[in-house]
Amino acid sequence: LCKYIEQCPTRRSEVDMNSIPSHVHSIFKQKSHMRQVYNKDVIDSCFAKITPVRYNEQVDLFGLVDCVPLPAGHSIGSANWVIKAGDYKISYVSSSSKLTNHTLPMEVISLANPDVLLLSNLSLNPMYFPDNTLSEVCNVVTSTVKSGGNVLIPCHSTGVILDLIEWLIQNLNKNSLSDVPIIIVSPVADAALAHPDIYGEWLNDAKQAKLYIPELPFQHSQLIKSKRIHHFSNVADGMREVYKTPCIVFAGHPSLRCGDAVLLLEKWRDDTHNAVILIESEFSFATTLAPFLPMSMRSYFCPIDPSINYSQASKLIKDIRPKTVVTSPTYFRAPVTHPNRCDLVLVSDAPVVELGVGETVN
């Protein structure tokens, strides 16, 4: 986040407000009034305090509790935790996924029979099923590039993008669109694309097996070598040399408040052939695009959220049989827009302690 913010002017006086459209003024006004909360030195200091651990490695904390990280299935390195203090067991489940993706599948057996289950980070958009939105993204991309338009996908540099690229490649090949360039723009593009191939232990069995052939586990590695996929730290870092219409660009930041995605959206917004697809579920579709409206560019909300939904979480509670569940009270209320949808409400056979933001439970 520091790198993205630092790419933006830090004071309004550094921006010629007459040189940019009026509807984007709010972005710079927000930035000019931001208070610096941290800088790169502070972040580096925090990272220096981190102790890396492997899945199923037991960690002794101050001789008081033992903690064991388990695969959560959500993204590379994501973990759930079993915390034990003597005979007392706590299972902490957060940002987990039951989908088949590039990571090790979620480990459930070791979570079973806890005294307390701490449950958080369920799907933010349970009305959208990831398989359906993946297909919708592929269809929008295909129809857009066939019409000669560019596609902008504001997103994070890691996570679902790894699976989405493989889906898109297959879909483009099926539709004889293998000459359409895919461009990834991020300050950490190099590392984000290289690390998945290095950390094979975090990948699913199929991906790990490729390492013993030997073969790189992800398609993007070979496609970078063949210049089908290009990556740059920013749009001024040589993107002009490979850019052609149509193309597909992944860029950050998904909030559309900083980063190169803002520049590309401004460049392409007046062409009805172009499309922007929002895939990150934590950002509101209406709020994200509000500063850029009206625009001719077509916009789509296709949140690809691999997190477990309410039905899966309810089944998880039933399967691991906790004595008590501690979770957010919001999970027991259906969305206002879908008040009668039982599948959008968490169900627990075990006693529940509802814990809101900032609250403490004994």
3 state SS of 298: strand
Using one digit for the tens of pLDDT, what is the confidence trace for 212-251? 777 676 777 788 888 889 989 888 888 888 899 999 999 9
Using one digit for the tens of pLDDT, what is the confidence trace for 65-103? 999 999 999 988 899 999 999 999 999 999 999 988 888
Please, which pLDDT band fits residue 16 given cuts at 50, 70 and 90?
very low
Residues 195, 43, 157, CA angle at the centre, nearest 5°? Answer: 35
Cα→Cα distances 65→89, 90, 181, 207, 238, Å = 10, 10, 51, 34, 51
Q: Is the pLDDT of residue 335 over 90?
A: no
Quick count: other Cβ atoms within 10 Å of Cβ 299? 18
3 state SS of 108: coil
d(CA 71, CA 81): 9
| Confidence (pLDDT) at 10 | 33
* Terminal CA-CA length for the chain: 35
Residues 82, 84, 89, CA angle at the centre, nearest 5°? Answer: 75
| Confidence (pLDDT) at 206 | 78
Q: Say which residue the tokens 């299935």 belong to.
A: 73
| Confidence (pLDDT) at 33 | 54
Quick one: average pLDDT of 34-53?
Answer: 83
Specify whether the CB–CB gap between 277 and 302 falls below 8 A. Answer: yes
Tokens representing residue 53 in the block: 């651990």
Query: φ, ψ for residue 48 (rounded to 5)?
Result: -65, -20
Q: Which residues of 155-166 are buried (b: 16+ CB within 10 A; e: fewer)?
A: bbbbbbbbbbbb
For the chain, count helices (H), then strands (E).
12, 13
Query: What would the 3-class secondary structure string for 117-154 be?
Result: EEEECCCCCCCCCHHHHHHHHHHHHHHHHHCCCCEEEE
Residue type, position 302, single letter:
C
d(CA 71, CA 127): 25
Query: φ, ψ for residue 135 (rounded to 5)?
Result: -65, -40
Q: Is the pLDDT of residue 275 over 60?
A: yes
Cis peptide before 246 (omega within 30 of 0): yes
Quick count: other Cβ atoms within 10 Å of Cβ 124? 13
The string of DSSP letters for 43-100 reads HHHHHHT-----TT--EEETTTEEEEEEE-SSSTT-EEEEEEETTEEEEEEES---S-
Using one digit for the tens of pLDDT, what is the confidence trace for 171-220? 999 999 999 999 999 888 777 777 766 667 777 777 777 767 776 767 77
Rg (the chain; Cα; Å): 22
Q: What are residue 59's DSSP bridge partners?
A: 67
Q: Are strands 65-71 and 59-61 parallel, antiparallel or unpaired?
A: antiparallel
Q: Is the pLDDT of residue 13 over 50?
A: no
Phi-psi region of 146 (alpha: psi -120 to 50; beta: other; left: phi over 0): alpha
Using one digit for the tens of pLDDT, what is the confidence trace for 129-183? 988 999 999 999 999 999 999 999 999 888 888 889 888 999 999 999 999 999 9
Specify whether the CB–CB gap between 134 and 103 falls below 8 A. Answer: no
